[in-house]
Amino acid sequence: MPARISGVGKYLPERVLTNADLEQLVETNDQWIVDRTGIRERRVAADHESSGTMGAEAARNALRTAGLQGSDIDLVICATCTPDGMFPGSSALIQHAIGATNAGAFDVSAACTGFVSAFTVGAQFIDSGIYNRVLVVGSEVYSRILNWSDRGTCILFGDGAGAVVLERGEVGAGGFVLKSDGAQAHLLYARGPASAPSTMMEAEGYYVVMEGREVFKYAVRAMEDVTRKSVAGAGLTVDDVTWVVPHQANQRILDAYAKALGLPDKRVVSNLASYGNTSSATIPIAMCEAWEDGRIKPGDNVVLTAIGGGLTWGACTVRWTGLGCEQ
């Protein structure tokens, strides 16, 4: 039986970093940022917060909307490329924090495609009959891997977490498509403490490095392609899609993507102005908000799609059945 979404949740740090605040850090201004990205502000994690703590808060909210307890969960998957440490995974910390005493846990690292990848994996565990309930979390603290003197990257990213609970249902998620092109890894990456020393450039440190124009061009083509394949794999057409919840990278990317698909902008969920790019957390946060404000309703066909460092990209199509007892 397919996996359906039975719970959604999100968590955003309290601290707001506006474009005006960034004007004090780098040579930029509010209008320049808005015109090129659509972003007006983003959130920054407090010193005591991490991908694990924020992910746990989002997970608790997802469990609440599903009407479940942590002990009801069989598996916790956390999508993050800013984990609490090299190990254990942030998923294990989330598993403990929410009292998921019966669950296994592991992290998925696929940058901004992380949530789609983790969602795909979680859905397979349910569809195969191995598990009944899987918690999928996307949580990131990009503020700690940004070069705050690089206006090409520091204006884009923010911190946050989102989560969904997957359960078995008569209808649910399908049309899974995952892609990767490691030849394009140089377009978007961040080194780490285990990187080969010979590949390290002192100026890069462990910060995000991005060729923005090239990623932009690749993103529109890649997300359009996997969206079409996902929808077809789910036995639908683009005209059957009620909502697309894409990775929130840049409003110009979302506009070009919608145009390429022939979708009206109003059917593409966007919260970029408020949160910027929270990497693997963008899709579950945006999906949660679209449910909270009544846009996503039972019976809707919802496409989730993303592109991220690797380069990786993917999509899946979800038949929305309602949360908890709404199904």
- Give me the mean pLDDT over the 222-230 stretch: 98
pLDDT tens-digit map of 53-102: 999 999 999 999 999 999 999 999 999 999 999 999 999 999 999 999 99
Contacts of residue 225, Cβ cutoff 8 Å, sequence gap at least 6: none
Q: Residue 327's pLDDT is what? A: 53
pLDDT value at 31 more than 60: yes
Domain match, 197 and 145 both: no
The answer on pLDDT for 202 being more than 70 is no
Compute the 3-state secondary structure of the chain and give helix, strand, coil in percent, each to the nearest 5: 40, 25, 35
| Catalytic residue flag (residue 277) | yes
Q: Tell me the whole-structure pTM to 2 decimals.
A: 0.96
Q: Of 185 and 200, which is predicted with more confidence? A: 185
CATH number at 207 reads 3.40.47.10
Q: Which domain holds residue 98?
A: 3-170
The answer on 163 and 19 residing in a single domain is yes
Is the domain of 156 the same as that of 185? Answer: no
Closest CA to 138 of 288, 238, 32, 242: 288
User: Is the predicted pLDDT of residue 200 greater than 90, yes or no?
Assistant: no
| Closest to 137 measured CA to CA, from 113, 102, 107 | 107
- Mean pLDDT rounded to a whole number for the chain: 95
Q: What are phi and psi of 101, to 5 degrees?
A: -70, -15
Using one digit for the tens of pLDDT, what is the confidence trace for 212-225?
A: 889 998 999 999 99
- Using 50, 70 and 90 to split pLDDT, how confident is the model at 192? confident
Backbone angles phi, psi at 11, to 5 degrees: -150, 130
Do 194 and 54 share a structural domain? no
User: Among residues 19, 154, 247, 301, which one is catalytic?
Assistant: 247
Closest Cα partner for 277 from 21, 18, 43? Answer: 43
- Long-range CB contacts for residues 82-87, cutoff 8 Å, separation at least 24: 82/51, 82/140, 82/141, 82/142, 82/144, 82/145, 82/279, 83/51, 83/52, 83/107, 83/109, 84/50, 84/51, 84/52, 86/193, 86/194
> CB-based contacts of 239: which residues, under 8 Å, 6+ apart?
none
Which domain-ending residue is among 170, 192, 225?
Answer: 170
Q: Are 39 and 19 in contact (CB under 8 A)?
A: yes
Per annotation, catalytic residue among 19, 61, 277, 301? 277
| Per-residue pLDDT band at 304 (split at 50, 70, 90) | very high
pLDDT at 326: 57
Which pLDDT belongs to residue 204? 72
Query: How confident is the model at residue 275, as a pLDDT?
Result: 98
In terms of domains, do 63 and 187 share one? no
For residues 157 and 180, membership in a common domain is answered with no
- Tell me if residue 186 is catalytic: no
Is 315's pLDDT higher than 60? yes
Catalytic site includes residue 325: no
Contact 106, 91 (CB under 8 A): yes
User: In this structure, what token pair is assigned to residue 281?
Assistant: 């957390």
Q: Which residue has the higher pLDDT, 248 or 204?
A: 248
Measured between alpha carbons, how far is 252 from 249 in angstroms, rounded to an integer? Answer: 9
Identify how many contiguous H helices and E strands the chain contains and give both numbers. Answer: 10, 13
State how far the Cα of 18 lies from the Cα of 215, in Å rounded to an integer: 24
pLDDT digits (tens, 9 = 90+) for 144-179: 999 999 999 999 999 999 999 999 999 999 999 999
| 131 and 221 both lie in a single domain | no
276: left (phi > 0), else alpha (psi -120 to 50), else beta? left
Q: What is the pLDDT of residue 325?
A: 56
pLDDT digits (tens, 9 = 90+) for 2-23: 999 999 999 999 999 999 999 9
Of 139, 170, 201, the residue at which a domain comes to its end is 170
**Would you tell me the crossing angle of helices 51-66 and 90-97 to the nearest 10 degrees?**
50
Do 59 and 140 sit in the same domain of this protein? yes
Annotated catalytic residue within 61, 78, 81, 112: 112
Place 193 in a pLDDT band, splitting at 50, 70 and 90: confident
Question: Which pLDDT value is given to residue 242?
Answer: 98
Inform me whether the pLDDT recorded for 208 exceeds 90.
yes
What pLDDT band is residue 324 in, cutting at 50, 70 and 90?
Answer: confident
Shared domain for 148 and 187, answered yes or no, is no
Q: How far is CA 108 from the centre of its chain?
A: 12
Residues 259 and 120 in one domain: no
Proportion of the chain above pLDDT 70, given as a percent: 98
Given 109, 139, 170, the domain boundary residue is 170
Tell me, yes or no, whether 158 and 248 share the same domain: no
How does residue 203 score in pLDDT terms, banded at 50, 70 and 90?
low
Section 279-288 average pLDDT: 98
Whether the CB-CB separation of 252 and 218 falls below 8 Å is answered with no
State residue 194's pLDDT score. 84
Do 81 and 191 fall within a single domain? no
Report pLDDT for 195.
84
Number of domains observed in the structure of the chain: 2
